[in-house]
Chains A and B, each alone.
Chain A
Amino acid sequence: MSQLNRLARGGRIDRSRKLSFTFNGQRYQGHAGDTLASALLANGVDIVNRSFKYSRPRGIVAAGAEEPNAVVQLGKTEAAQVPNVRATQQALYEGLEARSTNGWPNVQRDLMSLIGKLGGQFMPPGFYYKTFMAPASMWMTYEKYIRKSAGLGRSPMEKDPDLYDHLHQHCDVLVIGAGPAGLAAALAAGRSGARVILADEQEEMGGSLLDSRERLDDKPADAWVAETLEALAAMDNVTLLPRTTANGYHDHHFVTLHERRTEHLADTAPVKDGRRQARSRMHRVRAGRVVLATGAHERPLVYGNNDVPGNLLAGAVSTYIRRYGVVPGRKLVLSTSNDHAYRAALDWVEAGREVVAIADARANPDGELVEQARALGIRILPGSAVIEAKGESRVNAARVAKIDPDGFRVAGSAETLACDTIASSGGYSPVIHLASHTGGRPTWNDDILGFVPTLVKGVSAAGGAQGVYATGRVLADGVAAGARAAEEVGFAAAEVRLPQVAERRDGAAVALYQVPHEKPTLRAPKQFVDLQNDVTAAGIELATREGFESIEHVKRYTAMGFGTDQGKLGNINGMAIAARCLGRPIPEVGTTVFRPNYTPVTFGAIVGRHCRDLFDPERYTAMHQWHVEHGAEFEDVGQWKRPWYFPRKVDGKTETMHEAVARECRAVREAVGILDASTLGKIDIQGPDAREFLGRVYTNKWAKLAPGRVRYGLMCKDDGMVFDDGTTSCLGENHFLMTTTTGGAATVLEWLELWHQTEWPELEVYFNSVTDHWATMTITGPEARKLLAEVTDMDLDRESFKFMDWREGVVAGVPARVFRISFTGELAFEINVQANYALHVWETLFAHGEKYGLTPYGTETMHVLRAEKGFIIAGQDTDGSVTPEDLGMHWCVGYDKPFSWIGQRALSRPDTKRSDRKQLVGLRPKDPKVVLEEGAQIVFDPQHAIPMPMVGHVTSSYYSPTLDSGFALAVVKGGQQKMGESVYLPMADGQVHEAEIVSPIFVDPKGERQNV
């Protein structure tokens, strides 16, 4: 198809480069430099979508981020699908494939439009709330149907082939927007020597200057843009980021910028110099000062059928003609409240097309542009406006009438003017979205008939963003803002010469939002306020009649400004209409809050490279490779990967976890097993007050622990609840090595520092993490001593190296600290060596261990063995509501220690003294084959009516090969006094398990095996 609307000359496109693309399966051609929108208009494509609610045909309205209709689905292949792309922001590239997101089965023939035609009341505001609320169970069905028919774009069903990343940026001055204000601000800040980032969302920097009729220094405006960009690019301290949208303005000038790096080139990022490149990049910018040079969005007028394709913003008409060489129709009617919009008519005439008339809401329009239009012989209808568009899939006429804006009525008879395009302008709204993100409520300014941003400290607005529109003043405003920002962060402003711009004489604009119609709003043809969400003036009026007075409530009731649109085009008109209906002035009604993101951001850019293998750190011990090579299954413990169990191949079949764990447990109880315990937290504590400090943070006593000895310790918070445990060894009189749980290492270190730094700075003690320095391997089982003796000449005699002793020695040729402590109840030695030697020591143990049946075991076996002994895991058997007494660990509480240690006082509070607290007990299921579910709730009386009083829950539960039975640890109300009694565990499937309350120590209650 030919580009019937493409002008023979003009525009910034490269006519020598033709690009072909498809839209809804139809092939078209455009040029390099086109956006998808300009290329569609060039090809005369009127309908780009169906509307969200009423399914009305919609065309392109705007030329930038504010476009509400031309939201398309992009991508040739399934994996490359991108939803929510504005055709006005998508550069054309060879082979681009786009589709409408709405319209079922297609945009031309749409089943849903039937609903839209069945009277305006079928889907009134609040429709979803009113219609689909009951019965609630049907919502899922309704939603599926609504989604399918509404279409909101869709995510790809295949893996994204692209990569994305983040860049942490820091600068003195961040300038957002590279129109005249932004360029001037960047120039001023850059010349001062400050580190400057200039970001602009469009394909080309320059903003309004790229389609301006004005001359700067008597040259075309874009010549000054080119010069300025060249000057900025030459400055080392200035970073230019085109195709980069500032989407979120967060606290303390932290701004997220979304840079589309290859979206203008292809579906997926092309390979460059043999390397993959990031498709898009999130710049996480911390700025000293921010200049918002985000410009203004033109407001459309709200008149009947203003959504029919062929209704455009006046400024967009100029942009398409001057920047892209596309004139989007043949016969134009312009409806305006201000002078600036006359550009559209002048550009239209220069493009060689007919301007039927200009309806100007003002009684006596007389500015310079008005005079130019008169001089061209254009018919101007003062005191008038387009009150209604005619046509279905394209405008075919405009009904124009005299209006009385103050009385909100049509003041004369309407004239029908044949045309195919209606351009409208109700003035300009500063783009205040980013300022809104910072929490500043915008204020209404009567001079510019718009909201201007309220700015927090450190941010300024320049040019259109604060309602300054005349080019000369915008440039001066930009320079001042840039210079001031740089000065505020300590740079001396340098002089910037501004180009000469002839001051244009503009007549005053008049306030016009909704245009009156002969019929009252509720019966007039639909007058759209928010095109994306299908919100009409009648809908807003209805909402106010139904009692919604706050603009925030009107927004939620009507959906105005929802979703990806964020009210760019419609919000101000909507507020003005609400204000009219409520009989209150606009400033009193106020505005809603704009939220991040300003435009949709792909999830890829948010995730960056924090995905797949790099989603989260995986921490490995020094023996990790051995575990991998020996077939370990791994368990995540915090960020650590710990061997969970080591399944063997038996007769060509891999053991199940149950089989592997049973075998590993037997090996430890009957021979010898080995565990990689390197992940336990280790804290080196030195200082004359180290011992005193331990006494304060542990529940038990530390005063008499001698060098060479080890003790188990329990740690509480000051509310008396257990939060960590571990062994601490006395290395020297002033020197201790504390171990913590794997998950608690960082928390415990911070906890010690908290108390030392905030409460007891006078104690002379230092804490340092040595977790990663040492690798720890535990050999445990009856044969552990014999095995260790083969690789060391240390004295391992049970009398000289007792249980709870530690010794220094050489193991497998490596200096080691060996701790005789046990978490299994068996004889055990924990060997600690510097991690770089660990693999050698581990392998040496295996070289000697085969004859003893040395068996590697993982965390699952460790859990079974420790639970058989009633040893708790902090964080599994405790949950922040369990005291040492609840655990039955009175033996680990130093009630008579001189210092009131952390948690002691709380143990005498009435709540912690209750006899019906949940207490740790053992549970023996009546059926030994049953392994209770961890987390299962416990009741005393299974016959009790539902809801049954729940008296506790299972905290740890396993099958014990030693007992040949399931067994569990649990917390039960008053459980310590209920030994031998039965409790019941009703399960979700209707089964009820019975279990007997027993001591939590199931194996070797006297603790003899670890002392051998």
Chain B
Amino acid sequence: MSNVATFDTRTEAKIPVESPLAYSYRRSGAPAPTAKSRVVLRERPFLGHLVLRGGAIVLDEAVREVLGVTLPGEPQGLVHDADGRRSIQWISPDEWLVIVPGGEEFELENRLREALGGAHFAISNVGGGQTLLELEGEAARELLMKSVVYDVHPSHFPVGKGVTTVFAKTTVILRRPSEERWELVVRRSFADYTYRWLLDAGDEYGIGVER
């Protein structure tokens, strides 16, 4: 532990926080969903995001012990814990993205470090640098077809899959946690561009934003 500087970047103090979309809401507004909205967008801000690097076997053991889920060892795998609030996603053969309720990440990092002991691994906290957007509704898939180069047809993109791919002129981590819902993990600095793109491309489906 002493060889790596862990740092809790959060505070319990009552400090105003701004999600990556805070500026976008002020600049571009957030059309409220209506009965005619065929797709709804929702930001899930301030979650805990950790990047986990290391060998699958050694990480799997620690993740089972600490998170109680099996590390998805196969490419594009995405698994959730029993109550669905914690997920772990395959990013690369030695990289996984863990998303947990905000505030849990520092303790989780410490517990994983403890469980991993002297193994070669890395954990980076990236929660301030990305946010999670959800898309729901019958037009969500077509909206994604306008935006990402990856094939989002259900036969190719079943529930439990996640990929990093091209979104318009930026990148996104796209996940499908359930039949109805898609998740986009977006980098903070690109969040406004992504948001404006989704509003523009979603206009014909009467896109609404839940806040």
For residue B17, CB closer than 8 A to chain A, the reply is yes
Chain B residues in the interface with A (C-beta under 8 A): 2-5, 7-11, 13, 15-20, 22-23, 26-27, 36, 45-46, 51, 53-54, 94, 120-130, 142, 145-146, 148-151, 153, 155-156, 168-170, 187-190, 192-193, 196-197, 200-201, 203-204, 206
* Beta-carbon nearest neighbor of A843 in chain B: B16
Stretch at the interface among A217-225, A581-589, A768-776, A897-905: A768-776
For residue A1011, CB closer than 8 A to chain B, the reply is no
Known: A617-B169, A622-B188, A810-B11. 10 other contacts (CB 8 A): A166-B146, A275-B203, A640-B189, A731-B4, A770-B124, A772-B187, A774-B128, A836-B19, A836-B20, A836-B128
Stretch at the interface among A100-108, A571-579, A813-821, A1002-1010: A813-821
- Give every chain A residue within 8 A of B153 (Cβ-Cβ): 170, 195
Q: Is the CB of A688 within 8 A of B120?
A: yes
In Å, the complex CA distance between A557 and B36 comes to 59
Q: Is the CB of B5 within 8 A of A625?
A: no
* Beta-carbon nearest neighbor of A284 in chain B: B149
In Å, the complex CA distance between A275 and B170 comes to 26
Cross-interface CB contact of B146 among A165, A618, A640, cutoff 8 Å: A165
Q: Is the CB of B201 within 8 A of A768?
A: no
Cross-interface CB contact of B189 among A621, A810, A837, cutoff 8 Å: A621
Cross-interface CB contact of B188 among A731, A815, A835, cutoff 8 Å: A835
Chain A contact residues (Cβ within 8 angstroms of B): what range? Answer: 35 or more
Question: Could you list 18 examples of A-B contacts with CB < 8 Å?
Answer: A170-B156, A614-B200, A617-B168, A617-B190, A618-B192, A619-B193, A622-B20, A624-B23, A686-B53, A687-B120, A764-B120, A768-B124, A772-B189, A814-B11, A814-B15, A835-B20, A836-B17, A836-B45
In Å, the complex CA distance between A773 and B7 comes to 13
- Give every chain B residue within 8 A of A815 (Cβ-Cβ): 7-11
Q: Is the CB of A834 within 8 A of B170?
A: no
Cross-interface CB contact of B15 among A286, A621, A813, cutoff 8 Å: A813
For residue A48, CB closer than 8 A to chain B, the reply is no
Q: Is the CB of B23 within 8 A of A620?
A: yes
- Give every chain B residue within 8 A of A764 (Cβ-Cβ): 120
Known contacts A614-B193, A688-B120, A766-B122: A835-B169 contact under CB 8 Å? no
In Å, the complex CA distance between A239 and B189 comes to 37
* Beta-carbon nearest neighbor of B18 in chain A: A839
CB distance from A199 to the nearest CB of B (A): 16
Cross-interface CB contact of A617 among B8, B145, B170, cutoff 8 Å: B170
- Give every chain B residue within 8 A of A609 (Cβ-Cβ): 146, 168, 197, 200-201
In Å, the complex CA distance between A277 and B146 comes to 13
- Give every chain B residue within 8 A of A772 (Cβ-Cβ): 126, 128-130, 187-189
CB distance from B36 to the nearest CB of A (A): 8
Q: Is the CB of B5 within 8 A of A731?
A: yes
Cross-interface CB contact of B129 among A613, A732, A835, cutoff 8 Å: A835
- Give every chain A residue within 8 A of B148 (Cβ-Cβ): 168
Q: Is the CB of A614 within 8 A of B15?
A: no
- Give every chain B residue within 8 A of A770 (Cβ-Cβ): 124-126, 129
CB distance from B205 to the nearest CB of A (A): 8
CB distance from A756 to the nearest CB of B (A): 11
- Give every chain B residue within 8 A of A624 (Cβ-Cβ): 23
Q: Is the CB of A836 within 8 A of B203?
A: no
Q: Is the CB of A614 within 8 A of B18?
A: no
For residue A859, CB closer than 8 A to chain B, the reply is no
Interface residues of A in 605-652 (CB under 8 A from B): 609-610, 613-614, 616-622, 624-625, 640
In Å, the complex CA distance between A688 and B127 comes to 25
* Beta-carbon nearest neighbor of B119 in chain A: A764
Scoring B122, B155, B197 by chain A CB atoms within 10 A of each residue's CB, the highest score goes to B122
Q: Is the CB of B196 within 8 A of A684?
A: no
Known contacts A276-B203, A814-B15, A815-B9: A734-B3 contact under CB 8 Å? yes
Q: Is the CB of A686 within 8 A of B124?
A: yes
- Give every chain A residue within 8 A of B18 (Cβ-Cβ): 622, 836-840
Give the 5 A-B CB pairs with smallest separation, nearest first: A772-B129, A773-B129, A766-B122, A834-B128, A686-B122
In Å, the complex CA distance between A812 and B17 comes to 13
Q: Is the CB of A732 within 8 A of B3?
A: yes
Cross-interface CB contact of B9 among A618, A640, A833, cutoff 8 Å: A833
CB distance from A642 to the nearest CB of B (A): 11
Q: Is the CB of A735 within 8 A of B15?
A: no
In Å, the complex CA distance between A166 and B143 comes to 10
Q: Is the CB of A773 within 8 A of B192?
A: no
